[in-house]
Amino acid sequence: MKPGILPLMLLICCFCAYGQTVTDIEKTYGQRQQIYSVSQHIWMTPEFALDGQVCRMRLFPKRVDARSNYVGAGLQYDELRELLNSLVPLDKRGMKSKINFGSTATGGPAAWTTYPYERVTFTFTASFQPAEPDASPRLTKGEYTFTQPQTNPRTDPESEQPSADDFLPSQSSTTEIVTIRWHDRKCQN
């Protein structure tokens, strides 16, 4: 190798590594999101109300973290149930109405199972296999809106206290996203 080639190669490598800064990336792709590692296999993105309280959370499977790469698309039921009971303790949910509790709606490439309580609603989302092998299901926020009959768990004779085992493993075994929404908190956007 010629003596002048090595310094030239080092200069090129240093120039390539210098390329992108946080400002460059945020200018191109927008502000970074708040994403929290809330358990071994689950990430959480919160949204906040004007008063700073969390108004909505989305839980989804980790694919990578600092030490591991995880495969598989679903959330693990036992880990998810424990996390949900920790994030929104039973005494913070209010009563649950048995009328609509655990009902599932389908639309497009997904199914939504909803667990409404007096103060909060949990929605478990699972996708169907795409018709084309290379296609992946895509859901746009607000694309599917399902109305449910309004019930008041306090006056509903079918209402009951929440339990740590409210979420059914058979309906959540293929869950890919869980959304937690508080009824009395309006998100900023």
The reply to whether 62 falls in a domain is: yes
The reply to whether 123 falls in a domain is: yes
Strand order across the beta sheet in which 42-48 lies: 36-37, 42-48, 54-61, 177-182, 120-127, 110-116, 103-107
The reply to whether 52 falls in a domain is: yes
The reply to whether 12 falls in a domain is: no
pLDDT of residue 52: 93
Closest by CA to 59, choosing from 127, 136, 122, 140, is 122
Q: Per this entry, what is the length of the chain?
A: 189
Residue 176 predicted with pLDDT over 70: yes
pLDDT of residue 18: 59
CA distance 77 to 60: 12
Q: Are strands 103-107 and 54-61 parallel, antiparallel or unpaired?
A: unpaired
Ranges 33-37, 105-109, 149-153: which has the least confidence: 149-153
Tell me the pTM. 0.73
Residue 156 predicted with pLDDT over 90: no
Tally of domains in the chain: 1
Token pair of 181 as six digits: 């929404």
Q: Work out the end-to-end distance of the chain between its first and last CA atoms, rounded to an integer number of angstroms.
A: 59
The reply to whether 76 falls in a domain is: yes
pLDDT of residue 13: 56
The reply to whether 85 falls in a domain is: yes
pLDDT tens digits, one per residue of 88-126 = 999 999 998 777 888 888 877 788 889 999 999 999 988
The reply to whether 145 falls in a domain is: yes
Residue 163 contacts by C-beta under 8 Å, 6 or more apart in sequence?
A: 90
The reply to whether 170 falls in a domain is: yes
Q: Which range marks the domain in which residue 81 is found? A: 33-182
